[in-house]
């Protein structure tokens, strides 16, 4: 071996040893740091998971103490029970409950109840059955408490009443829970009207009882008028009742603006609803509502700064938000639209039809406000919001909102109407075939 070769071999051996040592050292470093990082990640995931689970329970079952309103003021517990069970009136049988859009969680029913419903032994025309279902915590969004003697003590409502439905897997209105899906069958106005004591609401709005009952009767299924209880506007300038469609509470992660008119972020709005609409015992503050011209009802009642002690809501807002943000927009059944047409429709959505200018990104929403002129509609509902504008609705899971119409007040009955509106307003010159393709794409979201 020449000296040169010998040196080369020595050098190679040294290099190899060095490399092995290095990689060992690196291994050691990785081995030491990986578990720590993974542990932290796992811990964060676990924490978020438990926050989501907590939020799910709150979303489904927490009334924030609103029984004081729904039972204490409106006596809805007594209306549900009926005269035969210590209340008043005919009572609310399961059939009546289903007819006003309430849903039954089939997974909360024990096998003997399921068998009884199937055989007819469990009577769905008897309010006593509703009480049994409430005891099982099976009426979605309605939380009941019972006396030790077994009688109904009180009922309250939860977020799920409006923002959950069921998949009808057992029977129409009875099935597995679908949280976040708007309950477009729920007739909130009719349910409130079951009360023998709506006078306090009439007083709040400075109307007489028949006027209030008329308004409640006009809302119709899937609609509710949240802003009415701060500005007192029950009707639109064109004389139609002012009530907005219940929106989805899914597919909102990543959006700062919530509601049709962008009142605020999700926790702002959750507090607004929990305190001012559900009448839960929470705290809520918004100086924008301290405006006697725009929000006379809020000013008269101090709704711009509500403090409850104890506060049964505020500490729950992070979990509630985590749960809502954990619910992705659902996908429609693959057979419910024509995939080929939807593909062409997507290209139109992104380009010629200009939809993606606002319905952008994965959420199909730009998280921005738009003037009424931009989208070609009147400014009534926008002007009732502190923002004065409309927020782009995220379009994911649009199929879950196919009943009740589109846009905040359901003014467009069908997707054809929506597309026709944009075609005219944005002067898109879409052909009939292009409109059909665009519609299939909307159905695929
Ligand atoms: C009586 C029915 C009802 C109840 C109960 C209710 N909501 Fe709503 N929710 C609505 C309506 C109607 C709107 C639309 C408000 C608007 O923009 O005019 C809405 C809007 C929302 C939005 C905005 C969605 C979006 O697209 O930005 C979220 C989020 C939401 N609600 C969550 C909740 C949570 C959480 C609760 C329980 C604390 C709750 N809601 C209770 C009817 C209800
Ligand atoms: C300038 C911004 C903008 C453009 C462009 C736009 N949208 Fe919208 N879109 C909005 C806003 C804002 C709303 C909410 C309107 C309301 O609720 O009153 C909305 C609502 C909708 C809704 C109703 C969703 C629901 O659940 O009620 C559909 C469907 C829709 N847009 C589809 C489209 C399509 C299809 C196009 C293209 C042809 C399009 N949009 C173009 C801003 C826009």
Burial classification of residue 361, based on how many CB atoms lie within 10 Å of its CB (0-12 exposed, 13-18 middle, 19 or more buried) = exposed
Q: What is the pLDDT of residue 12?
A: 54
Q: Quick one: 28 and 100 in the same domain?
A: no
Q: What is the pLDDT of residue 2?
A: 52
> Would you say residue 314 lies in a domain?
no
Q: Which of 65, 222, 236, 247 to mutate to test the pocket of ligand 1 (most atoms within 8 A of CB)?
A: 247
Residues spanned by the domain of 183: 67-197
Q: What is the pLDDT of residue 399?
A: 98
> Would you say residue 360 lies in a domain?
yes
Query: 418 alpha carbon to ligand 2 midpoint, in Å?
Result: 8
> Would you say residue 296 lies in a domain?
no
- pLDDT higher than threshold 60 for residue 24: no
Query: 384 alpha carbon to ligand 1 midpoint, in Å?
Result: 16
User: Which is the closest atom of ligand 2 to the Cα of 353?
Assistant: 38
Which ligand does the CA of 189 lie closest to?
1
Instruction: Give the pLDDT confidence of 200-209 residue by residue, as tens digits.
Output: 999 999 999 9
Nearest CA to ligand 1 atom 24: 259
Q: What is the pLDDT of residue 16?
A: 47
> Would you say residue 250 lies in a domain?
no
Q: Quick one: 420 and 351 in the same domain?
A: yes
> Would you say residue 316 lies in a domain?
no
Q: Which residues pair with 223 in a beta bridge?
A: 245
Nearest CA to ligand 1 atom 30: 249
Q: Considering its fold, how many domains does the chain have in total? A: 3
Q: Quick one: 115 and 171 in the same domain?
A: yes
Q: Quick one: 367 and 395 in the same domain?
A: yes
Are 250 and 163 a contacting pair, CB within 8 Å? no
401 lines ligand 2 (CB under 6 A): yes
Which ligand does the CA of 374 lie closest to?
2
Which ligand does the CA of 393 lie closest to?
2
Angle between helices 317-326 and 3-61 (to 10 degrees): 110
Nearest CA to ligand 1 atom 15: 259
User: Which is the closest atom of ligand 1 to the Cα of 258?
Assistant: 27
Q: What is the pLDDT of residue 392?
A: 98
Query: 159 alpha carbon to ligand 1 midpoint, in Å?
Result: 8
Paired sense of beta strands 174-175 and 104-105, if any: parallel
Residue where a domain terminates, one of 178, 197, 216: 197
User: Which is the closest atom of ligand 2 to the Cα of 245?
Assistant: 27
Q: Which residues pair with 154 in a beta bridge?
A: 145
CA dist., res. 445 & res. 443, Å (int): 6
Q: What is the pLDDT of residue 107?
A: 97
Q: SS3 for 130?
A: helix
Q: Which residues pair with 174 in a beta bridge?
A: 104, 171
Instruction: Give the pLDDT confidence of 53-103 residue by residue, as tens digits.
Output: 999 999 999 999 999 999 999 999 999 999 999 999 999 999 999 999 999
Q: Quick one: 342 and 421 in the same domain?
A: yes
Which ligand does the CA of 365 lie closest to?
2
Query: 392 alpha carbon to ligand 2 midpoint, in Å?
Result: 6
Q: Quick one: 19 and 100 in the same domain?
A: no
Q: Quick one: 95 and 193 in the same domain?
A: yes
Q: Quick one: 100 and 23 in the same domain?
A: no
Q: SS3 for 255?
A: coil
Q: Quick one: 141 and 186 in the same domain?
A: yes
Nearest to 166 by CA among 107, 81, 244: 107
Are 286 and 272 a contacting pair, CB within 8 Å? yes
Q: What is the pLDDT of residue 13?
A: 46
> Would you say residue 258 lies in a domain?
no
390 lines ligand 1 (CB under 6 A): no
The count of C-alpha atoms lying within 13 angstroms of the C-alpha of 129, restricted to the half-sphere facing its C-beta, is 19
Q: Quick one: 11 and 98 in the same domain?
A: no
> Would you say residue 233 lies in a domain?
no
Query: 287 alpha carbon to ligand 2 midpoint, in Å?
Result: 30
Are 360 and 366 a contacting pair, CB within 8 Å? yes
Q: What is the pLDDT of residue 64?
A: 98
Residue where a domain terminates, one of 169, 197, 225: 197
> Would you say residue 249 lies in a domain?
no
Give the dihedral of Cα atoms 84, 85, 88, 89; nearest 10 deg.
Answer: -50
Q: Quick one: 24 and 120 in the same domain?
A: no
Burial classification of residue 165, based on how many CB atoms lie within 10 Å of its CB (0-12 exposed, 13-18 middle, 19 or more buried) = buried
- pLDDT higher than threshold 60 for residue 159: yes
247 lines ligand 1 (CB under 6 A): yes
CATH number at residue 416: 1.10.760.10
Q: Quick one: 105 and 36 in the same domain?
A: no
pTM recorded for the entire structure: 0.92
Burial classification of residue 316, based on how many CB atoms lie within 10 Å of its CB (0-12 exposed, 13-18 middle, 19 or more buried) = buried
CA angle 372, 378, 384 (to 5 degrees): 80
Q: SS3 for 93?
A: coil
Q: Which residues pair with 258 in a beta bridge?
A: 264
Query: 323 alpha carbon to ligand 2 midpoint, in Å?
Result: 26
Q: What is the pLDDT of residue 100?
A: 98
Instruction: Give the pLDDT confidence of 111-158 residue by residue, as tens digits.
Output: 999 999 999 999 999 999 999 999 999 999 999 999 999 999 999 999
């Amino acid at each position: 071996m020449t000296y040169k070769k010998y040196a080369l071999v020595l050098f190679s051996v040294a290099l190899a040893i060095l490399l092995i040592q290095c990689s060992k050292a690196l291994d050691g470093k990785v081995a030491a740091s990986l578990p720590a990082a993974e542990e932290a990640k796992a811990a964060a995931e676990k924490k978020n998971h438990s926050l989501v689970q907590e939020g799910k329970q709150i979303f489904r079952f927490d009334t924030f103490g609103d029984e004081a309103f729904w039972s204490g003021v409106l006596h809805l517990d007594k209306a549900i029970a009926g005269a035969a069970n210590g209340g008043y009136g005919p009572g609310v049988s399961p059939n009546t409950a289903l007819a006003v859009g309430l849903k039954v969680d089939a997974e909360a029913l024990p096998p003997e109840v399921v068998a009884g419903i199937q055989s007819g032994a469990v009577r769905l025309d008897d309010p006593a059955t509703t009480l049994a279902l409430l005891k099982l915590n099976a009426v979605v969004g309605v939380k009941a408490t019972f006396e030790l003697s077994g009688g109904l003590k009180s009922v309250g409502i939860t977020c799920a009443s409006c923002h959950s439905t069921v998949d009808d897997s057992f029977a129409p209105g009875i099935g597995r829970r679908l949280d976040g899906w708007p309950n477009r069958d729920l007739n909130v106005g009719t349910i409130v009207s079951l009360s023998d004591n709506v006078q306090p609401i009439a007083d709040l709005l400075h109307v007489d009882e028949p006027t209030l009952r008329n308004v409640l009767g006009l809302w119709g299924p899937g609609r509710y008028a949240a802003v009415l209880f701060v500005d007192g506007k029950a009707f639109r300038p064109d004389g139609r009742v002012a009530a907005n469609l219940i929106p989805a509470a899914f597919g909102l992660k990543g959006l700062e603006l919530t509601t049709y008119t962008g009142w605020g972020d999700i926790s702002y709005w959750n507090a607004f609803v929990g305190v001012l609409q559900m009448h839960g015992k929470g705290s809520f503050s918004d100086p924008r509502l301290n405006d006697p011209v725009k929000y006379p009802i809020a000013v008269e009642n101090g709704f711009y700064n509500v403090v409850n002690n104890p506060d049964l809501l505020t500490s729950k807002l992070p979990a509630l938000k985590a749960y809502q943000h954990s619910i992705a927009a659902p996908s429609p059944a693959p057979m419910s639209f024509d995939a080929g047409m939807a593909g062409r429709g997507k290209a139109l959505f992104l380009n010629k039809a200009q939809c993606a200018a606002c319905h952008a990104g994965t959420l199909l929403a730009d998280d921005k406000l738009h003037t009424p002129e931009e989208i070609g509609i009147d400014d009534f509902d926008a002007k009732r919001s502190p923002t004065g504008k409309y927020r782009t609705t995220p379009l994911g899971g649009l199929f879950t909102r196919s009943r009740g119409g589109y846009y905040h007040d359901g003014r467009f009955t069908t997707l054809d109407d929506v597309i026709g509106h944009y075609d005219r307003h944005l002067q898109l010159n879409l052909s009939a075939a292009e409109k059909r393709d665009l519609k299939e794409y909307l159905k695929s979201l």
